[in-house]
Every structure is written in C-alpha cells, then in structure tokens.
Amino acid sequence: MIDLKDVLVLSSILFTFGIAGVIMHRRNLVRLLMCVELILLAVNINFVAFSNSMADISGQVFVFFILTIAAAESAVGLALIITLYREHKTVDLDKLTELRE
Amino acid sequence: MIENIIFYAISSVTVAATLSVVFARKSVYAIMGMVLAFFSAATLWVLLNAEFLAMILVVVYVGAVMVLFLFVVMMTDADTVHHKSSKFFSVILAIPSFAFLLELIIVTSKTNYKVIDGGAAFDVKAIGAALFGEYIYATEVAAVILLVAIIAAIALPDIKPAEKLEDDFEPELANKDNRLRLVKMDTPDKEQNLEESAQ
C-alpha cells in the first residue's frame, strides 16, 4: 500500500521544478511550454493519488479531461510558435515585442 | 512492501527526469527527459490503480505530443536563445523555489486525509460509465475543444507572413491627374460593328 503523502511529496517536487523551469526559461518559448507540461503532470499525479485513496472514480475522469485540454493547448501553442518563427525567425520572447512598439 | 520499494525507485527516476527537463542544455535532451518522466509517471499510475490512464498517457503524450515538440524543436532554432545564467539569478531563483517546496511538503504532511484502506480497483467500464453518464456534458465540451484545436493547429501555420513595407517606401499620392483620365474614343459605325460581329 503506497502512502498518499509520499505521492503528494513527489508531485510537490515536480510542481516546484516546473515553476522554477518556467522562470528559468522565460525567454525560450519551447522550453517554457515543456515546463508547463511538467506542472500539469504534477497536478495529474495528485488527482490519481486522491482518486486511489478515496476510492472515487471522479479523480480519474478529471485527469482524462486535463489530458485532453493539455494536448489541445500544446498543439495550438506549438502551431503558434511555428507561425511566430516564420514571421520573426526567432523563438526568443524578449524579441517578440511587436505589440509594445 | 515490494510496492513501496518500486514506488520509491520510480519516484527517483521521475525526479531525475524532471531535473534533466529543466537543466538540460539542449532542447532535444530536455524532450528525452520529458519522455522518461511521462513513462515513469505512467508506471506510477499503474501502481495507483489507474491502468487505463497510464496507457492513455503513454499513447497520447509520448506518442503524439512529444513528437510534436520534437518537430518544433527541429524546425525552429530553439537552442540559439541564450538565457543569462548568472550565479546571482540562480541563487535568487533557488531560494524561493526551495522555500516553496518545503512549504508544500510541510503542509501536505501535516494534513489528515480521508484514506480508504486497500484503495479501489477501477476498470475501464467504470470510467466509461462515469464519462458518458455523470460527466456527459463535460465530455461533449472536451470533444468540441479538441475539434477547435485540430482546426487551429492545421490552419495557423498556413498563414502567410505579411509583406513588410520598406522603410523608404513612399506611397504615391493620388491627385486629379492620375485618378481620372479622359480618353477620346472613336465611335465605330453601326454597319462596321455588324460586319465584325458577323465575321
């Protein structure tokens, strides 16, 4: 029997690394999206752990929806990155300042 | 007991993979670390009685989304973006991150959770009954969102980049002379017209 709190500690570690990665790679669009995926994975692990320990199927259903939305989000995000790269020849967020100028 | 040992082993693999995602120098290595992280998370979910979701995670994420990421990294020069990795910034980032992690761990270990002994074994049938019974509206909305995402992902890269105007481009100002022109034309005879059309 796996202790629930151990799983929560693991997902906390993943979440913290994800947020630190978002701050570290705040200039690189692709790496930033990957770190967001890490954060979502941590959330999903939490949902599955609680679903197991509370014997409730709802947690797994919510993981299903989160996976759907995350896949859609990354597909649209990557399409946007490709479009931006064609226009500006870079994925550097500091150079994408068109709206400010 | 054997479950616990497997859990700790897989957890350490997951944490190592996460570290490689965040700290890898090249984006391709970061993606490989991500694949490992998703695989080990799927193994964890099998231990937590979520076999169906584990399979979905491997098929959808490792099979589709990670391949998309690989394509994007290869099509763009993502590694040419140099982030300033000064030591000062690393320390500034590391201290709040560690404090945040410590806080999360303390809060989660101090709270008492309702735990049902033995856990629960779900089969795919139960998940399907919940998806198409209690959560049918959410399922429909998720389907529509997927459709929108498919259309957006296909249509967005098709947009042509706008033609940029040169800096010394001066638009030709319109005046009366080049806007309107009177042309004198001969009116052909009616008979000649008829002949031409007959030919």
CA-CA distance, B74 to B41, in Å (whole number)?
A: 26
CA-CA distance, B65 to A79, in Å (whole number)?
A: 12
CA-CA distance, A42 to A23, in Å (whole number)?
A: 17
Span of B95-104, B108-117, B125-134 with lowest mean pLDDT: B108-117
CA-CA distance, B77 to B144, in Å (whole number)?
A: 33
CA-CA distance, A73 to A33, in Å (whole number)?
A: 10
> Could you report the per-residue pLDDT of B122-166, keeping only the tens digit for each?
788 888 898 999 999 999 999 999 999 999 988 888 877 666 656
Q: Is the pLDDT of residue B83 over 90?
A: no
Best A3, A4, A17 member to test B by mutation, with max B CBs in 10 Å, is: A17
Number of domains in chain A: 1
- What would the two tokens of residue B90 be? 């690393």
Q: Is the pLDDT of residue B51 over 70?
A: yes
Range of the domain at A23: 4-89
Share of chain B above pLDDT 90, in %: 35
Q: Is the pLDDT of residue A59 over 60?
A: yes
Using DSSP's 3-state secondary structure scheme, residue A28 falls into: strand
Q: Is the pLDDT of residue B167 over 70?
A: no
**Which A residues 42-101 touch B at CB under 8 Å?**
44-45, 48-58, 60-61, 63-65, 67-76, 78-83, 85-87, 90-92
Domain membership of residue A96 (yes or no) is no
What is the pLDDT at residue B164?
60
Q: Is the pLDDT of residue B111 over 90?
A: no
What is the pLDDT at residue B198?
64
A 10 A CB-CB count for B156 gives 17
| Spacing of C-alpha B110 from chain mean position | 36
- Which of A6, A17, A9 is CA-nearest to residue A40? A17
Domain membership of residue A94 (yes or no) is no
Does residue B87 contact residue B59 with C-beta atoms inside 8 Å?
Answer: no
CA-CA distance, B27 to B35, in Å (whole number)?
A: 13
Q: Is the pLDDT of residue B38 over 60?
A: yes
**Which B residues 135-154 touch A at CB under 8 Å?**
135, 138, 142, 145-146, 148-150, 152-153
Mean pLDDT calculated for residue range B3-19: 93
| Spacing of C-alpha A4 from chain mean position | 22
**Which B residues 166-185 touch A at CB under 8 Å?**
none
Domain ranges of chain B: 1-81, 122-159
CA-CA distance, A12 to A95, in Å (whole number)?
A: 33
CB contact under 8 A, B44 and A38: no
Domain membership of residue A97 (yes or no) is no
Domain membership of residue A99 (yes or no) is no
Q: What is the ipTM of this complex?
A: 0.91
What is the pLDDT at residue B191?
63
Does residue A20 contact residue B97 with C-beta atoms inside 8 Å?
Answer: yes
| CATH assignment at residue A78 | 1.10.287.3510
User: Domain B1-81 carries which CATH code?
Assistant: 1.20.120.1200
Domain membership of residue A14 (yes or no) is yes
What is the pLDDT at residue B169?
64
What is the pLDDT at residue B82?
64
All residues at 6 or more sequence positions from B131 whose CB lies less than 8 Å from its CB, including other chains: A61, A64, B139
